[in-house]
């Protein structure tokens, strides 16, 4: 269980749980949201390209995201395994990732789906906007991100259910520790 994808709507806790899981597995975590925010902070070409999409709560184009992941997974640090957080978010990304992993003969071990009710997500994200000041945590943008998740990313869960990769549904509404132990319990780590 060393190649894992974390899925779930914005605010479900993918970042927090992804980091804890990567630590438990002794592998790197790749968060596409963080990679993009760092690119923006550095003022790179990627950052400039991503900015308008992110601020509107829209997705950055698939080719851009596939390029980022291709580069991350090709690095030697990813060879023992990884936790992906925030990717794939569209069926085209899942398909592209699958092709990459098939070429390498290293399929995913599991997809973790963190499930949290919409009203709780909105509550968590509006609290976060006050604390962290992330531009995309503004209320209108949060609603757009949830809609984009329903339109573009929920189909990815169904897509994985049609493959050999196990999709493990986890109740993400409990405390950080409760959710962490249910993830590790399901993965047997």
- Positions touching ligand ADP (CB under 6 A) are 10, 32-33, 36, 53-54, 57-60, 65, 86-87, 89, 93, 136, 145
The DSSP element (H or E) to which 140 belongs, if any, is: helix 139-148
Nearer CB in complex with ligand ADP: 86/172: 86
Q: CB of residue 188 vs ligand ADP: minimum separation in angstroms?
A: 26
Are 13 and 172 in contact by the 8 Å Cβ rule? The answer is yes
Q: Where are the beta strands (DSSP E) in 86-164?
A: 110-115
The active-site residue, picked from 3, 14, 40, 124, is 14
**Is 161 marked active-site?**
no
**Is 89 marked active-site?**
yes
**Is 103 marked active-site?**
no
**Is 145 marked active-site?**
yes
Which tokens in the block code for residue 85? 């957080």
Which tokens in the block code for residue 50? 């991503």
Q: CB of residue 102 vs ligand ADP: minimum separation in angstroms?
A: 19
Residues whose CB is less than 8 angstroms from the CB of residue 36 and which lie 6 or more positions away in sequence, other chains included = 46, 47, 50, 54, 60
Residues acting as catalytic residues? 14, 89, 128, 134, 145
């Amino acid at each position: 269980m060393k190649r894992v994808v974390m899925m779930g709507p914005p605010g479900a806790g993918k970042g927090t749980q992804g980091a804890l899981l990567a630590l438990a597995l002794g592998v790197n975590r790749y968060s596409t949201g963080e990679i993009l925010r760092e690119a923006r902070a550095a003022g790179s070409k990627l950052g400039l390209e991503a900015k308008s999409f992110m601020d509107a709560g829209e997705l950055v184009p698939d080719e851009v995201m596939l390029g980022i992941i291709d580069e991350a997974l090709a690095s030697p640090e990813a060879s023992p395994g990884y936790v992906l957080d925030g990717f794939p978010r569209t069926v085209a990304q899942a398909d592209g990732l699958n092709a990459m992993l098939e070429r390498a003969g290293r399929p995913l071990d599991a997809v973790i789906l963190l499930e949290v009710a919409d009203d709780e997500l909105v509550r968590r994200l509006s609290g976060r906007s006050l604390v962290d000041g992330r531009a995309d945590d503004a209320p209108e943008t949060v609603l757009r991100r949830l809609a984009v998740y329903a339109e573009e990313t929920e189909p990815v869960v169904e897509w994985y259910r049609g493959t050999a990769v196990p999709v493990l549904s986890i109740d993400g509404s409990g405390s950080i520790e409760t959710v962490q132990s249910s993830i590790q319990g399901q993965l047997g780590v």
